[in-house]
Amino acid sequence: MGQVYLEREEEAACVIMCASVKYNIRGPALIPRMKSKHRIYYITLFSIVLLGLIATGMFQFWPHSIESSSDWSVEKRSVRDVPVVRLPADSPIPERGDLSCRMHTCFDVYRCGFNPKNKIKVYIYSLKKYVDDFGVPVSNTISREYNELLTAISDSDYYTDDISRACLFVPSIDVLNQNTLRIKETAQALAQLSRWDRGTNHLLFNMLPGGPPDYNTALDVPRDRALLAGGGFSTWTYRQGYDVSIPVYSPLSAEVELPEKGPGPRRYFLLSSQPAVHPEYREDLEALQARHGEAVLVLDKCTNLSEGVLSVRRRCHKHQVFDYPQVLQEATFCVVLRGARLGQAVLSDVLRAGCVPVVIADSYVLPFSEVLDWKRASVVVPEEKMSEAYSILQSIPQRQIEEMQRQARWFWEAYFQSIKAIALATLQIINDRIYPYAALSYEEWNDPPTVKRGSVSNPLFLPLIPPQSQGFTAIVLTYDRVESLFRVITEVSKVPSLSKLLVVWNNQNKNPPEDSLWPKIRVPLKVVRTAENKLSNRFFPYDEIETEAVLAIDDDIIMLTSDELQFGYEVWREFPDRLVGYPGRLHLWDHEMNKWKYESEWTNEVSMVLTGAAFYHKYFNYLYTYKMPGDIKNWVDAHMNCEDIAMNFLVANVTGKAVIKVTPRKKFKCPECTAIDGLSLDQTHMVERSECINKFASVFGTMPLKVVEHRADPVLYKDDFPEKLKSFPNIGSL
Amino acid sequence: MQSWRGKSLWLALSASWLLILLRVFPLLRLAVPARPWASAPQGWPRWLDTELLPSFSQPGELPEDAPQPPQAPRGGGCDWGACFDASKCRTGGLKVFVHPVAGPISASHRKILASIESSRYHTASPEEACLLLFLSLEVPAGECSPVPQQWNGGRNHLVLDLHPAPCPQTFQLGRAMVAKASPTVDTFRPGFDVALPLLPEAHPLRGGAPGQLRQHSPHPGVPLLALAEERGGWRTAGTDPSTCPWDGRCEQDRGPEQTHPGGTLPNATFCLIPGHRPDALHFLQALQAGCIPVLLSPRWELPFSEVIDWTKAAIVADERLPFQVLAALQEMPLTRVLALRQQTQFLWDAYFSSVEKVMHTTLEIIQDRIFGASAHASLLWNSPPGALLALPTFSTSLSDFPFYHLQWGSRPVGRFSALIWVGAPGQPPLKLIQAVAGSQNCAQILVLWSSEKPPPSRWPETAVPLTVMDGQRKVSDRFFPHRAISTDAILSLDAHSSVTTSEVDFAFLVWQSFPERMVGFLTWNHFWDEAQGGWGYTAERANEFSMVLTSAAFYHRYYHTLFTHSLPKALRTLADETPTCVDILMNFLVAAVTKLPPIKVPYGKQHFEATPPLVPGGPEPQPTARDCINQMAAGFGYMPLVSSRLRLDPVLFKDPVSVLRKKYRSLEKP
């Protein structure tokens, strides 16, 4: 909404501006004939009029654009003023939860029809206050956290206010804490929701399930088919693939400032900070402390604190007082023991402190375990094995511990730190189930940003040597050098593994020669005419390309021998995820200019190959055309240069691997023609190419090119061995 | 003048107001109905008294949870913590005992038994074992297999149930885990039971057929969809979006299509598999064919779902939305299709292609549960070469392995250790030590003294630390993961090898680009010998090679761990008995892991040639050595070696340019 008003305001500003402009245009015709006194008078008059106009405009439009639209749209209301709904004592109660529910049995997926964004639509029922026949409220109307949660959903992309288009319904009845509600009446309140329909597609959030004395591990409110996002599920109550296990939010997350502390060894190896631990467990913990001394610290609640000190924020060991949660940052491992409930808010505090949780709660389903890999951030110890916990932890190498500390902190930041984070992760999990082909990957859920930045996932990761019989498609980009083109075609057609030849005719003003004039070759030859003379046409993923291997070749490359090309193809088969080319080039860091420099000298290193003749996988054509970062593609087309450098950047960036230069070839021009290129021409060329490298490095945000000092030659190249027995005897020189 | 002034004043005023009327009022009119109070598309309201709302848990309530004594596991229910006693495994490692099977057993059961017995976890004594395996047999309907001895209430038992049980409740399972082919989702206990694939009767014991994928991207002409048919075959359907791929699920006619008989594998980009149980067999076929499985609301648990991230290789979709699924498949980005296709092949090759792999994967999963924090990381399971070939006992840091540098954004650690094996003649390789120590990248020299003669007391002064270790007089000892090896890279040498410093330097540089491969100087090539009907290999110089000699080669130290701990004992014994075999075995191992050929770098001493180092006589290997390649191939179940036709040279190698330009000019000396 706010967006619309902003635009309106701009429009209004334009009206005023346009008006004044129009006045000014008319002005000069009148004013010059007047005396300066009058002129001032009129100008003042018009200014007043104009100011009035601006003021009106401001008055009309200003206030709406600065206020957030929803604040402005809904009159300020109090939670106390929400409508009251009386629930008759005999109103229906839903069935108890159905333990056999799965997405394909209990979830109505037809409500979440196909949509291009692959996002579910979530509707929130409006807030009501439910009372029983005697006017006694059923529960607290709403808690701060549940209000925050609904606000977060409402502000997210998932939200819809159209109940008929919604796929998921979130009741505003707050069931976060089972102890604050009356079970039967809450169930009745759920049952009378307008789209309840046995709870189909309804999502309930609950963090504190069960109540004394037996503390069930799932919400006791009968809810039929509704999905439950619950904190504290056990494997017995958790419906795998249907429910979502969520964390118990720790209010300390918002209350306490806790600066991040990096991973590394800490003062205590193992810490137990929970004040209410069952005596049996406390005995076990204290036995651990007795055995391992200083390295283990077991804290309890403080008994001797003076009035007024928040006991929630203090822990004691004998007479020593510790600040909580700060003390968690002093420990490498922190115990998260089950209480009466399996889910404990302390888990959130522990993760935040970068302390690795040692979860001792049999059958507990860890938060978001459907997507999060808890092995990377926690250690799970069976309750029976508590006495062995210390030795189990001791066997973990330090490097792995630091990795786990980092991971723990990252989980907190991404999925625990606020009610909003919890709500959005829950919806994302459900979204992933409904649109599985658009689901987030394991890496997207689990890899911390530092890993995501450094890692490369090679799109052609499977080690696979394509069969030789497949052959390659040669793509010749040409403008009008027909004679030279025909020579290239004739030469290339001699290569045994060529399976098709594609000529990209980049000249719109001239038709390609008639069919009869083309050289007769043994493989299909196809001419593609382009709409515009662009360099990127060379890297277009033409439907005509049927092989995986593509040979890009210029229409003037006639010096490469058939053996050389065939060998190039063989090398590509062994490195199908790389650019395999002939002359190599290098990028260098220019310390004086503080930028990258293009180098074509004959050095011992290569980081690029020229695509005047290069083999590569046809998938890179798709990437070049559709996934090139930034404006590089257009930039190359506009400058008519550096398409090869762009391709080198793209392939190196996506695969993380270096190019393969084959055979001695250092340049394409025939040796006798080098003199034609003037020195100055050469220099401007070098400057332009250097500019390209700098431009691309800034667009990619990194320098993806890899420098290597090797090239590929045939096994017996220049060996003392009879030439006629060599597979590729005719390898050209520089 | 006055009237003129008045006129112009009026003119100006009226013009301004006209402007206001014309321009601003319509705007206001437009603006008014758009205001939210009219149509009210409201979100969740911002309450005035948000600050006053109570928290869902009162301060103190969270930590003050009423404590409760530990609960015993619920009646009948079992999970890992409650029903498995891992303490025995933690001290002695995972040891598996198989209850002897009474009566006749089928061929597939025999394969299972054989594959477990070949596993490094197998033990013959039930006392030593921490996991007891019980094979549930097919018995005539109505009868049930007897409860074995030492059943112990099923504690630490794994019941292997490969066929839909004819006897519904074979016996009281007690605390036993069940490894079952395609278990139904409702009875499967995640984290306790193991879901196996439904294997066809003829599944090979070892090796197995490789994946069918020959190219990374789908071939342009290939149909988009293949559908699993009730009768067991596949039907390919056109790509026309208006055609309905489902039987009886939509009204339109089906498009042009072809039906394929049962045995053939589907040739399509996606394979639609309905979710009923018998279709689990289709699932493996699709996987092998590199056809991305699209599972429609499967009622069965996907195989090894505890460790395999199936979202990377298959799509689990809702059968109620056929058109939505179809549209999503058609619009799927090429990048995703490529990734899914390749993952199917990797998973097939790593875990499913043979009975042995399936059984070893099952044991590895249980081993991982015992290991807890030091189990395989998810990446080890889900990226090549797979968890059976990436041992977590080597390291829990991914960057220590040669395979994950790209995904992890790391690189192999700086320098190399030279490991010189001194065999029978017992000549201290003084010249070799000098040449290797001259390399700037050399971190240490380790001499593995395996000769009967005592090692000399004095060794030459070198710039790098030199350690002499007493070897075990066994050839396989040279591939033992000695503690003294401190670097990722190992330069393996024989006492009589001869290399120059610059050869070593360049080879090491190349190895850093290919840390998962072997980089060597001398090569052998294998070939299929029609006349003998077996594999052969030759040391003669050829245009191709598939092995590099370990008498001078760089490789990652991880292969020592793999050689010692993952290879079947029989193969290592074979190598000890026939020393030439050790080279072949190492090359087999690395090729089986990487599926790629080794790398050859230039070597000056051409006269030295690739004579097998320990075999006197001509270039042709001895008959016993010839046998050895065939025995190795039988042991692996297939021929893993891959040939290469290239050699990596320095960029200016033997080029007609000034010698001064060249960094590795001494490589070119004849």
For residue B262, pLDDT over 60 is answered with no
Residue A11 pLDDT grade (very low, low, confident, very high; cuts 50, 70, 90): very low
DSSP calls for A446-490: HS-HHHHHH----TT-S-----GGG-EEEEEEESS-HHHHHHHHH
Residue in A464, A563, A734 to test binding to B, most B beta-carbons within 10 Å: A464
Chain A CB contacts of B336 under 8 Å are 437
Cβ neighbors of A422 (< 8 A, separation 6 or more) are A149, A246, A247, A249, A415, A416
Average pLDDT value over all residues in chain A: 87
pLDDT computed for residue B254 by the predictor: 42
Tokens of A214: 């037996």
Kindly name the residue from B309, B583, B627, B649 that is annotated as catalytic.
B583
CA distance A663 to A567: 9
A435–B642: do the CB atoms touch at under 8 Å? Answer: no
Mean pLDDT of the A643-662 span: 96
Shortest distance between the Cα of A626 and any Cα of chain B, in A, equals 11
Residue in A20, A80, A104, A433 to test binding to B, most B beta-carbons within 10 Å: A104
Residue B624 pLDDT grade (very low, low, confident, very high; cuts 50, 70, 90): low
What does the radius of gyration of chain B's CA atoms come to, in whole angstroms? 34
Q: Is-contact A275 A135, C-beta < 8 A?
A: no
Residue A626 pLDDT grade (very low, low, confident, very high; cuts 50, 70, 90): very high
Residue A405 pLDDT grade (very low, low, confident, very high; cuts 50, 70, 90): very high
Is B659 buried (19+), middle (13-18) or exposed (0-12) by CB count in 10 A?
Answer: exposed
CA distance B16 to A22: 10
Higher pLDDT, B442 or B613: B442
The beta-carbon neighbor of B185 closest among A102, A459, A470 is A102
Chain A CB contacts of B297 under 8 Å are 103-104
Shortest distance between the Cα of A483 and any Cα of chain B, in A, equals 31
DSSP calls for A645-702: HHHHHHHHHHH----EEESS---SS-GGGGGGS-HHHHHHHHHHHHHHHHHHHHHHTS
Nearest CA in chain B to A663: B651
Nearest to B310 by CA among A441, A359, A545, A378: A441
The beta-carbon neighbor of B334 closest among A69, A451, A622 is A622
Chain B CB contacts of A567 under 8 Å are 645-646
Q: Does A80 touch chain B (CB under 8 A)?
A: yes
pLDDT computed for residue A671 by the predictor: 45
Mean pLDDT of the A390-400 span: 92
For residue A480, pLDDT over 70 is answered with yes
pLDDT computed for residue A20 by the predictor: 40
Mean pLDDT of the A461-483 span: 93
B56–A463: do the CB atoms touch at under 8 Å? Answer: no
pLDDT computed for residue B391 by the predictor: 93
Mean pLDDT of the A181-210 span: 93
Q: What are phi and psi of B8, to 5 degrees?
A: -65, -35
The beta-carbon neighbor of B216 closest among A23, A155, A576 is A576
3-class secondary-structure state, position B180 = strand
B63–A719: do the CB atoms touch at under 8 Å? Answer: no
Return the minimum-mean-pLDDT range out of A639-653, B67-81, B567-581, B647-661.
Answer: B67-81
The yes-or-no answer on residue B186 being catalytic is: no
Chain A CB contacts of B65 under 8 Å are 276, 339-341, 344
Shortest distance between the Cα of B312 and any Cα of chain A, in A, equals 8
Nearest to B235 by CA among B276, B274, B202, B182: B274
Q: What is the DSSP letter of A358?
A: E
Higher pLDDT, A93 or B169: A93
B42–A710: do the CB atoms touch at under 8 Å? Answer: no
Higher pLDDT, B98 or B68: B98
The beta-carbon neighbor of B339 closest among A4, A459, A604 is A459
pLDDT computed for residue B552 by the predictor: 94
Chain A CB contacts of B513 under 8 Å are 658, 708, 710
CA distance A366 to A238: 11
Q: Does A10 touch chain B (CB under 8 A)?
A: no
Nearest CA in chain A to B521: A715
CA distance B341 to B326: 17
Chain A CB contacts of B406 under 8 Å are 455-458, 656-657
Mean pLDDT of the A655-664 span: 95
A376–B378: do the CB atoms touch at under 8 Å? Answer: yes
Return the minimum-mean-pLDDT range out of B29-33, B438-442, B625-629.
Answer: B29-33
Give the strands of the sheet with A356-360, arranged side by side: A296-298, A268-272, A331-337, A356-360, A379-380
For residue B400, pLDDT over 50 is answered with yes
Encode pLDDT of B545-599 as tens digits: 999 999 999 999 999 999 999 998 889 998 888 888 899 999 999 999 999 999 9
B409–A438: do the CB atoms touch at under 8 Å? Answer: no
CA distance A688 to A539: 21
Residue in B294, B301, B651, B663 to test binding to A, most A beta-carbons within 10 Å: B651
CA distance B506 to A154: 62
Q: Is-contact B548 B519, C-beta < 8 A?
A: yes
Return the minimum-mean-pLDDT range out of A214-223, A579-588, B86-95.
Answer: B86-95
For residue B227, pLDDT over 90 is answered with no
pLDDT computed for residue A59 by the predictor: 52
CA distance A692 to B441: 35
Average pLDDT value over all residues in chain B: 82
A103–B47: do the CB atoms touch at under 8 Å? Answer: no
The beta-carbon neighbor of B56 closest among A143, A312, A441 is A143
B53–A79: do the CB atoms touch at under 8 Å? Answer: yes
pLDDT computed for residue B184 by the predictor: 85
pLDDT computed for residue B63 by the predictor: 47
For residue B39, pLDDT over 80 is answered with no
Chain A CB contacts of B189 under 8 Å are 235
Q: Is-contact B613 B551, C-beta < 8 A?
A: yes
pLDDT computed for residue B368 by the predictor: 93
B648–A710: do the CB atoms touch at under 8 Å? Answer: yes
Chain B CB contacts of A212 under 8 Å are 66
For residue A12, pLDDT over 70 is answered with no
For residue A4, pLDDT over 80 is answered with no
Q: Beta-carbon neighbour count of residue A321 at 10 Å?
A: 16
The beta-carbon neighbor of A110 closest among B65, B320, B513 is B320
CA angle B517, B518, B522 (to 5 degrees): 150
ipTM: 0.88
Q: Which helix (H) or strand (E) holds A46?
A: helix A36-66
Phi-psi label, residue A341: left if phi above 0, alpha if psi -120 to 50, beta otherwise: beta
Helix and strand counts by DSSP (H, E) for chain A:
20, 25
Encode pLDDT of A113-146 as tens digits: 767 788 999 999 999 999 998 989 888 889 999 9
Tokens of A148: 């925050």
Q: Does A397 touch chain B (CB under 8 A)?
A: yes
For residue B62, pLDDT over 60 is answered with no
Q: Is-contact B198 B296, C-beta < 8 A?
A: no
Mean pLDDT of the A145-152 span: 95
The beta-carbon neighbor of A78 closest among B49, B79, B395 is B49
Shortest distance between the Cα of B375 and any Cα of chain A, in A, equals 8
B42–A606: do the CB atoms touch at under 8 Å? Answer: no
B81–A72: do the CB atoms touch at under 8 Å? Answer: no
CA distance B595 to A39: 90
Mean pLDDT of the B102-120 span: 83
Q: What are phi and psi of B546, to 5 degrees?
A: -135, -5
pLDDT computed for residue B441 by the predictor: 94
Chain B CB contacts of A385 under 8 Å are 86-87
B648–A712: do the CB atoms touch at under 8 Å? Answer: yes
Chain B CB contacts of A57 under 8 Å are 24
The beta-carbon neighbor of B64 closest among A276, A281, A453 is A276
Q: Does A316 touch chain B (CB under 8 A)?
A: no
Percent of chain A with pLDDT strictly greater than 90: 63
pLDDT computed for residue A483 by the predictor: 92
Tokens of B561: 């761990």
Mean pLDDT of the B452-471 span: 88
Scanning A477-536 for CB atoms below 8 A from B yields none
Cβ neighbors of A573 (< 8 A, separation 6 or more) are A465, A466, A468, A549
Chain A CB contacts of B524 under 8 Å are none
The overall longest dimension of chain A from CA atoms, in Å, is 107
A70–B45: do the CB atoms touch at under 8 Å? Answer: yes
For residue A566, pLDDT over 90 is answered with yes
DSSP calls for A68-86: -HHHHHSPP--GGGSPEEE
Q: What is the DSSP letter of A3?
A: H
Tokens of B530: 């029609």
For residue B174, pLDDT over 80 is answered with no
Phi-psi label, residue A272: left if phi above 0, alpha if psi -120 to 50, beta otherwise: beta
CA angle A127, A131, A132 (to 5 degrees): 150
For residue A102, pLDDT over 90 is answered with no
Distances (CA, A) of B11 to A24, A379, B6, B312: 14, 85, 8, 75
Phi-psi label, residue A430: left if phi above 0, alpha if psi -120 to 50, beta otherwise: alpha
pLDDT computed for residue B251 by the predictor: 38
Scanning A36-55 for CB atoms below 8 A from B yields 38, 42, 45-46, 49-50, 53
A454–B409: do the CB atoms touch at under 8 Å? Answer: yes
Residue B417 pLDDT grade (very low, low, confident, very high; cuts 50, 70, 90): very high
The structure's pTM equals 0.87
Residue A64 pLDDT grade (very low, low, confident, very high; cuts 50, 70, 90): very low
CA distance A461 to A446: 20
The beta-carbon neighbor of A8 closest among B31, B56, B647 is B31
Residue B670 pLDDT grade (very low, low, confident, very high; cuts 50, 70, 90): low
HSE at residue A590, side-chain half, CA atoms within 13 A, is 14
Higher pLDDT, A276 or A228: A228
B56–A439: do the CB atoms touch at under 8 Å? Answer: no
